[in-house]
């Protein structure tokens, strides 16, 4: 039954099936997209760690992957504690991203924009591209 004062149907079952279907379809599509992006980033980090002489499997181990990333960047391992401090962790993450980019022969701008802000693009470039690791850089 249609209510002319509110321009809505009085029966909520009219909306229930289409609204929930659209919600779940959107939710599932979003989940699959994020899962695919996560898998690509993990594979790219695995390859990047391997290029840097580190164990590739470290890309799938939480916390240890940050420690290995610090080693790749040439930063001390105790910096992992700085990731626990709010706001400081953002600054440290940007610094580490820039250092990783420089170790792979890329610019600081690539480190900031490609690895820090848009890591889903930057890490595959390092992992699948022709960039080589230079420990002395």
Name the CA dihedral angle for 31, 64, 75, 100, rounded to a multiple of 10 degrees: -40
User: What are 39-90's pLDDT values in tens digits?
Assistant: 999 999 999 999 999 999 999 999 999 999 999 999 999 999 999 999 999 9
For tokens 């850089």, what's the residue?
137
In a domain, 101, yes or no: yes
- 99: in domain: yes
Read off the pLDDT band of 24 (50, 70, 90).
confident
Q: For the segment 112-124, what is each residue's pLDDT rounded down to a tens digit?
A: 999 999 999 999 9
Q: 3-state SS of 70-116?
A: HHHHCCCHHHHHHHHCCCHHHHHHHHHHHHHHHHCCCCHHHHHHHHH
Give me the mean pLDDT over the 3-23 stretch: 63
In a domain, 85, yes or no: yes
Q: How many structural domains comprise the chain?
A: 1
Whole-structure pTM value:
0.79
Range of the domain at 109: 2-128
């Amino acid at each position: 039954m249609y209510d002319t004062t509110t321009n809505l149907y009085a029966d909520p079952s009219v909306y229930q099936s289409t609204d929930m279907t659209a919600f779940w379809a959107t939710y599932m599509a979003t989940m699959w997209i994020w899962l695919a992006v996560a898998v690509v980033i993990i594979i790219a980090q695995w390859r990047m760690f391997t290029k840097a002489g580190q164990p590739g499997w470290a890309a799938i181990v939480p916390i240890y992957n940050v420690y290995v990333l610090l080693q790749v960047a040439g930063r001390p391992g105790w910096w992992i504690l700085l990731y626990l401090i709010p706001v400081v962790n953002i600054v440290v993450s940007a610094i580490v991203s820039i250092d990783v980019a420089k170790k792979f022969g890329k610019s600081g701008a690539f480190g900031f924009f490609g690895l820090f802000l848009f890591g889903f693009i930057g890490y595959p470039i390092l992992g699948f591209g022709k960039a080589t690791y230079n420990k002395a850089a």
